[in-house]
Amino acid sequence: MKPVSQTSLPHAVAWLGYGGLLPFVATAAAVFLDPVHALLWARILIAYGAVILSFVGALHWAFAMTLTGLSGTRQTVAFIWSVVPALLAWPALLLPYPYAAALIVAGFVLHYAQDRSLAALGLPSWYLPLRLRLTLVACAALLLSSLAPR
């Protein structure tokens, strides 16, 4: 098996990352295109956002285990941070839609800030630009769908 490239975005990562945006875009569109079921589509979008936010949080657990340039304190911070996105995502499942969307978006933005703090410590050069693009599209889908008439 070929190791993950440090400089160019691997094709599998591109397909999986960008493919993971399809549910964001499709359900956000469904909120507008199916007004009768808009609230159902919005809840589906929040559920998917919560799952993905939890997933990206887990990345920092892996970084804490594998990045060799982390001090003991920075490693502990990465381990602690790795569970914060899930702790933000879980209550979002219980909130009314606009608040849930705002909480998920805040989680994605905060997570990107954490990604930036780790980027110089050994992450592949493609990681941060990819995370920015994925974060922007996911957040746009969540925010735009919260503007749909109900």
pTM: 0.92
pLDDT of residue 69: 83
150, pLDDT greater than 70:
no
Within a 10 A sphere around the Cβ of 14, how many other Cβ atoms? 13
pLDDT of residue 77: 92
Average pLDDT of the residues in 7-29:
96
pLDDT of 30-45, one tens digit each? 999 999 999 999 999 9
What percent of the chain has a predicted confidence (pLDDT) above 70? 96
pLDDT of residue 5: 61
pLDDT of residue 115: 94
Q: Residues 60-64: contacts with CB within 8 Å, 24+ apart?
A: 60/114, 60/118, 63/118, 63/123
Within a 10 A sphere around the Cβ of 139, how many other Cβ atoms? 20
Could you give the 3-state DSSP secondary structure of residue 108? helix
User: Do residues 111 and 55 make contact, with C-beta atoms less than 8 angstroms apart?
Assistant: no
pLDDT of residue 19: 98
User: Do residues 150 and 37 make contact, with C-beta atoms less than 8 angstroms apart?
Assistant: no
pLDDT band at 75 (very low <50, low <70, confident <90, very high): very high
Average pLDDT of the residues in 25-29:
98
